[in-house]
Structure 1
């Protein structure tokens, strides 16, 4: 009897320890539909077909990223995979600003137990440490299923407020809006880049999660489903898991960054929006207009 009790205690301890030491790694490929530059202007200059093609190709590359999510039972860190810059890839102020607004940043730490997140970001040469509560989405669990990487996944949908500081949320204005704006101007049918886009108030998010990996985690700030989120789509951006490794021999330290000025998400967004407005006015006031993106 004593031996049986001892074995049960050892087994229980082993299960608790296994849960405590559980860790996984998921690789995600993020792709966003690149905007079209046809019929636009760069300051006072028309964008030629050659310029348009070059800008769209560079934008496409900027919008294709690989991220690594390391997670345990309660926390995770999500970070862009480091890649070497190719010669001539460094751009001007517009490119630097857009890189800061496309889901990038440093290490995105989520703690689903405390329902909080921490992410370090660099914007216009300054380092910020955004600390705030995790956004809670009202997920609607669907019956539709599919397989992703051999895992059975279930569909879930939600509606969320679109961030005004995330470039990926920019949508082209419809033709009626453009016509109305043209009538109000001098009759020129071509406008500046930023005048052709708008940000919707809300966006519909579709996620696919697998209960086979029972953690309340996912890419970026997505969470709250009964299983690891393997795919997310918001109409413009698709984040798809391409690889999963569970309980690897080498463990990763999952903890938040501590560098940068601590700031709330609201205050950080206000800072970014203010700089965006300043940058826009500077470009509009420039006689020759801003140079093509990426130069």
Structure 2
């Protein structure tokens, strides 16, 4: 700002230059990273993904409470009935009722027992319908795994973020805390080749203006490749303005023009039309990247955890059966 130039092209506010050498800001933007869309979890993990451990623990707790309540109610209804301890916390009728199977109901049951039966049926309906709803939803659109929500997640994922050399130096000057994430950035001098052919193995440094252009370009893809991450911002609310001399005769006129343009919505209109104008000028190609996975029906591998659970249940049943035979033989041997 030596006075040789009356008005300088727009650039962000700089702390080393006094504010009176700037016009009104004509736009604001954020400087963040756009990261590749995380892969979907495998189908075989969906069955276990639905039942979160907290929901599972709550279901077990309710089941135990219903089992205890049913055992106490049966004992009160029939005082001559012997209370079996092993059925006190794990009532087989309660378990079958939750799974929607038929159960043995006590004849001439009291009102408290009937209410417990009703609660068991309601719990079974809630579990089955909610699980089925989540299963159909996740089968249609499986959730993603290991989402990148912070620079620590980016560092742990091993994904590199491409950034201009000049932007890299600016980042270190405005964000000294980013020194701990230097290994997560790949400094480049020629950035254009990555804009034309983006690689989903990398993240990219960009701002809200450029992201709006690439976001429109992704509408021509079969599936979105990148997402804007507000959690991975390097610099928020950057104000862009024109630099001009402190005593410039154009200051008031320029400031008034900026205010009129903003109030008319021209800035937002230009941002929206920027992609289509660049495409008409041949600066952006309307390419189509096919990254959709082919639809396929469920296979044996997709039911891996189901088969493992069934095999484990059969193994426990066999061990229990062998154990009962062994205990019976030992009792008969002791009596003889």
TM category (shorter chain) comes to under 0.3
TM-score normalized with structure 2 length: 0.18
TM-score normalized with structure 1 length: 0.20
Determine which structure has greater relative contact order: mean sequence separation of CA pairs < 8 Å that are 6+ residues apart, divided by chain length.
2
Going by fraction, where is helix more abundant, 1 or 2?
2
Going by fraction, where is strand more abundant, 1 or 2?
1
